[in-house]
Chains A and B, each alone.
Chain A
């Protein structure tokens, strides 16, 4: 037992760090933003360092309920990095309204997500997921006085609870028909004959997880929550929990349901195509940039699911690479959204107000153009590469029709991305002023770095990414 504790340092650090941050907020006060910011950031850095220190360890702890491996490590590093950025950007957004609960909740959410990414038992899965979700519900309604924020929190909570219910129902069915909650044990039973109970279990579990990754048809909450939640929280929702849920889904599908390919593959294919198409079509009419990015995230999840549908190691490598590139792109684009303020300092979210933005803030507009073209997957931007990987995995797994359908639908997706670029570059200047000097140095640095990385420079990192994702994906096979 104590030996196991030495292997979950990242989780321990996050728990302790989260509690310290909470105490700091309570006893030192919300005014001392620097102090609790520092403690939360240090916690995340230390947890990331612990993950790095555990590289190469591959084992399970606590009677096989939690695994320590490269796959979880890859996901955790991404989650911690995204959480780090989301804490950094918060004080400037909330201004006077910044409270210590924000970093604390993010830390606990990160803890839950880490557990999701490394669970190998249905119970740990659920505990991790709920820990993350509870923190997320509160974060969504973090601006108590703002109606939209409260609405977002409530919507997220009600629909999230429904999804948790479905997930639990599926878990209970799987447990009932297999007699175990352990992934490996479930896989063993699924390798035999499937009965209707098991199939229902698989369907409900995948539906519950589909809600978390906001795959169509479980996506309805996404645009509303993304729009209503404060922008740093939206940034968080669009990045870290996506990584965790996608990692969890991959683990459940490959580890627990692996042998029952026929049962889960068609569900994943449906989720994937539905997300790609609805994510693309739904985005076209949007006038709010945050809603649009919500649809864009639905669309991107669809592409990740193409890699997962392949069910091969190559496919999982594609999913992991996709997650990494997606997180960088999404962070970058939300950081740009965060800087959209008019001369009164009000947040601008309407897309028509962005008309002529390139003439007012050429640097930011160029970065946004890079992010959008990258999300659309147009080479030479690096967003092309993960799309290529998932399509390659699908073609090599004999899922050519899926690849063709996905890639043709990507043209619909390209339409709304280039429509924003049209607004920023081709249209005449709108009346909205965007005064210069809105961004902190850190934000500008993150935007610049991610935009540069997503331009052609990213291709130089392919060998590194290939090694990382291959070693992480190999764990599952």
Chain B
């Protein structure tokens, strides 16, 4: 496989398909988009199959001096691979989810989704700072159209808010990047990862990046664009927004802020911890009182992302691995939950929780899937959510037991709002006539539900498939952060671990066993 530009091909397939869709008729556009996203997914599988776990940090690298000042440089490590897999896996499902729901300007819609795909996987592939920024920002345009044209009643407001909010955040990051390029004299990300910026500069750079990534994440208190965007976006738009776009922020934390500004990260971690703690409790409580299903899931996303940030800034192997697993798990599960909302929205055209009730009687298959994803969102053992939350909370505990304490309440509150939602929608008396008339899942919806459910269970039962490619990268980041890491308050005493085969790592085996005892 070496030498074959598979990453460029993965960018080219959806890009070409997007242009075709612009000029194609409605029916043809749907099939072109589905074909292209499936083809990209197959390419992604080939990529994963050929990824050498434990091999070089950067694989499949491509480099072309196309732009003079910066390079067309692509390459992936394990973290990027997993997030690319998440994106290419969700895309065909998004296309299927909008198969019947989107009736107007289908060609434009499909083109926007395909551009979205190019941009998202481009972000994870970019190995050049400016190329990264271009991909990072480019996502605004298709999402603006997706929300604004095919969204709900208040879509224009939501589209504006989404666009301006995220733009305002990211422009400061651009200034920081310019300063970094001026200081280090290169735009090459692997080089910058090992460049030691002066300590005073790090603080400013860190704050500028934080301003941008915290909005993308989104962290409390700059999360307010998210509920609006989610509620107004079409189902597939919410799926991709929650599934992948929210991961860009955390990816930026892990790729840029932590390894590039380790000292500043160490000094300013209290900001992240503080905001995360507020977010976990506050947004969970807000989720509890929502009457709109999509809004509820949107607030739950903010809460989950807060555990991700806290896990990342634990600065240890479990915390970061756990955060990565939450990102993947939340990508699948929240997309699935938004799809679950979309299924009943398509039938009744309302997202009001009170309008439903008793679905278990007339939509049993739907109720089972919804139950599974609800449990995965809560973090029931055996589902993907458990693995991530457990690992990251174990890591956070090692760094600060108080943060761990507050974040754990988020899990409890999460169970409260999700089960409350589930009870009101699925259980109870089936009294409303229009709800009675709702048919169960059709073949297309089954096709979407089954892969999502399969992955959620796979990640819960055997997370090693997903952790293995990322472990080496996490170790690298942890090693880079080690000098800046403050002492935790957990005062861990190393136990006597048995052979560390289950954890697959030797250097951190003892700490690992200590953290979970």
Query: What is the interface of chain A, defined by CB distance below 8 A to chain B?
Result: 359, 362, 373, 378-380, 384, 388, 391-392, 395-396, 400, 403-404, 407-408, 410-411, 414-415, 418-419, 421-422, 425-426, 459-460, 462-463, 466
- Which chain B residues lie closer than 8 Å to A392 at the CB level? 178, 181-182
B148 near A462: Cβ-Cβ < 8 Å: no
- Which chain B residues lie closer than 8 Å to A388 at the CB level? 130, 174, 178
The closest CB in chain A to the CB of B15 belongs to A456
- Which chain B residues lie closer than 8 Å to A407 at the CB level? 171-172, 174-175
Given the known A-B contacts A403-B178, A466-B69, are A410 and B171 also in contact in the complex, defined by CB atoms under 8 Å?
Answer: yes
- Which chain A residues lie closer than 8 Å to B155 at the CB level? 426
B138 near A380: Cβ-Cβ < 8 Å: yes
> Is there a chain A Cβ closer than 8 Å to B49's Cβ?
no
> Is there a chain A Cβ closer than 8 Å to B206's Cβ?
no
Some 18 contacts from A to B, beta carbons below 8 A apart, are A379-B133, A379-B137, A380-B134, A380-B138, A388-B178, A391-B178, A392-B182, A404-B175, A407-B175, A408-B172, A414-B167, A422-B148, A425-B149, A426-B149, A459-B66, A462-B67, A462-B68, A466-B68
A426 near B159: Cβ-Cβ < 8 Å: yes
B160 near A395: Cβ-Cβ < 8 Å: no
CA distance A195 to B81 in the complex (A): 64
Given A380-B134, A414-B164, A422-B160: 6 more A-B contacts, CB < 8 Å: A388-B178, A391-B174, A411-B168, A426-B148, A459-B67, A466-B69
- Stretch from B139-147, B282-290, B368-376, B462-470 at the A interface: B139-147
Given the known A-B contacts A379-B133, A418-B163, are A460 and B174 also in contact in the complex, defined by CB atoms under 8 Å?
Answer: no
> Is there a chain A Cβ closer than 8 Å to B28's Cβ?
no
> Is there a chain A Cβ closer than 8 Å to B351's Cβ?
no
B69 near A408: Cβ-Cβ < 8 Å: no
B68 near A463: Cβ-Cβ < 8 Å: yes
> Is there a chain A Cβ closer than 8 Å to B450's Cβ?
no
A400 near B160: Cβ-Cβ < 8 Å: no
- Least CB distance from B274 to A in Å reads 25
CA distance A421 to B140 in the complex (A): 13
- Which chain A residues lie closer than 8 Å to B160 at the CB level? 415, 418-419, 422
Q: Is the interface of A mostly helix, strand, loop or mixed?
A: helix
The closest CB in chain B to the CB of A404 belongs to B175
Nearest 3 CB-CB pairs, A to B? A463-B68, A379-B134, A407-B171
> Is there a chain A Cβ closer than 8 Å to B482's Cβ?
no
A460 near B67: Cβ-Cβ < 8 Å: yes
Pick the residue among A400, A410, A426, A459 that contacts B179 (CB under 8 A).
A400
The closest CB in chain A to the CB of B156 belongs to A426
Pick the residue among B67, B105, B134, B141 that contacts A373 (CB under 8 A).
B141
Query: What is the interface of chain B, defined by CB distance below 8 A to chain A?
Result: 66-69, 105, 108, 130, 133-135, 137-138, 140-141, 144-145, 148-149, 155-156, 159-160, 163-164, 167-168, 171-172, 174-175, 178-179, 181-182
CA distance A403 to B144 in the complex (A): 26
Pick the residue among B134, B159, B175 that contacts A384 (CB under 8 A).
B134
- Which chain B residues lie closer than 8 Å to A418 at the CB level? 144, 160, 163-164
CA distance A411 to B179 in the complex (A): 20
The closest CB in chain A to the CB of B163 belongs to A418
- Which chain B residues lie closer than 8 Å to A380 at the CB level? 134-135, 137-138
CA distance A359 to B149 in the complex (A): 12
Given the known A-B contacts A395-B175, A408-B168, A410-B171, are A422 and B156 also in contact in the complex, defined by CB atoms under 8 Å?
Answer: yes
A414 near B67: Cβ-Cβ < 8 Å: no
- Which chain B residues lie closer than 8 Å to A459 at the CB level? 66-67
- Least CB distance from A194 to B in Å reads 31
- Which chain A residues lie closer than 8 Å to B105 at the CB level? 359
- Which chain B residues lie closer than 8 Å to A362 at the CB level? 108
- Least CB distance from A368 to B in Å reads 14
CA distance A396 to B171 in the complex (A): 17
A400 near B175: Cβ-Cβ < 8 Å: yes
- Which chain A residues lie closer than 8 Å to B164 at the CB level? 411, 414-415, 418
- Least CB distance from A203 to B in Å reads 30
A422 near B182: Cβ-Cβ < 8 Å: no
- Least CB distance from B147 to A in Å reads 9
CA distance A395 to B164 in the complex (A): 24
- Which chain A residues lie closer than 8 Å to B137 at the CB level? 378-380, 384
- Least CB distance from B127 to A in Å reads 16
CA distance A362 to B107 in the complex (A): 12
A395 near B182: Cβ-Cβ < 8 Å: yes
The closest CB in chain A to the CB of B169 belongs to A411
CA distance A250 to B138 in the complex (A): 32
CA distance A396 to B184 in the complex (A): 12
CA distance A380 to B159 in the complex (A): 19
Pick the residue among B148, B175, B179 that contacts A425 (CB under 8 A).
B148
- Which chain A residues lie closer than 8 Å to B171 at the CB level? 407-408, 410-411
CA distance A387 to B168 in the complex (A): 15
CA distance A380 to B137 in the complex (A): 7
- Which chain A residues lie closer than 8 Å to B69 at the CB level? 462, 466
- Which chain A residues lie closer than 8 Å to B167 at the CB level? 378, 411, 414
- Least CB distance from A360 to B in Å reads 13
CA distance A384 to B148 in the complex (A): 23
- Least CB distance from B226 to A in Å reads 18
- Least CB distance from A225 to B in Å reads 30
- Least CB distance from B512 to A in Å reads 41
Given the known A-B contacts A380-B134, A415-B164, A466-B69, are A422 and B178 also in contact in the complex, defined by CB atoms under 8 Å?
Answer: no
CA distance A411 to B160 in the complex (A): 11
- Which chain B residues lie closer than 8 Å to A384 at the CB level? 134, 137
- Which chain A residues lie closer than 8 Å to B163 at the CB level? 414, 418
CA distance A161 to B144 in the complex (A): 45
- Which chain A residues lie closer than 8 Å to B159 at the CB level? 422, 426
- Least CB distance from B379 to A in Å reads 37
- Which chain B residues lie closer than 8 Å to A373 at the CB level? 141
Given the known A-B contacts A379-B138, A422-B148, A425-B149, are A395 and B67 also in contact in the complex, defined by CB atoms under 8 Å?
Answer: no
- Which chain B residues lie closer than 8 Å to A400 at the CB level? 175, 179
- Which chain A residues lie closer than 8 Å to B175 at the CB level? 391, 395, 400, 403-404, 407
- Least CB distance from A432 to B in Å reads 20
- Least CB distance from A417 to B in Å reads 10
CA distance A460 to B155 in the complex (A): 36
CA distance A54 to B64 in the complex (A): 34
- Least CB distance from A420 to B in Å reads 12
CA distance A463 to B71 in the complex (A): 11
- Least CB distance from A337 to B in Å reads 22
CA distance A426 to B174 in the complex (A): 29
CA distance A459 to B155 in the complex (A): 33
- Least CB distance from B21 to A in Å reads 13
CA distance A411 to B169 in the complex (A): 10
- Least CB distance from B486 to A in Å reads 29
The closest CB in chain A to the CB of B138 belongs to A380
CA distance A426 to B153 in the complex (A): 11
CA distance A378 to B136 in the complex (A): 11
Given the known A-B contacts A391-B178, A422-B160, are A463 and B67 also in contact in the complex, defined by CB atoms under 8 Å?
Answer: yes
- Which chain A residues lie closer than 8 Å to B141 at the CB level? 373, 378
The closest CB in chain A to the CB of B150 belongs to A426
- Which chain A residues lie closer than 8 Å to B133 at the CB level? 379
- Least CB distance from A405 to B in Å reads 10
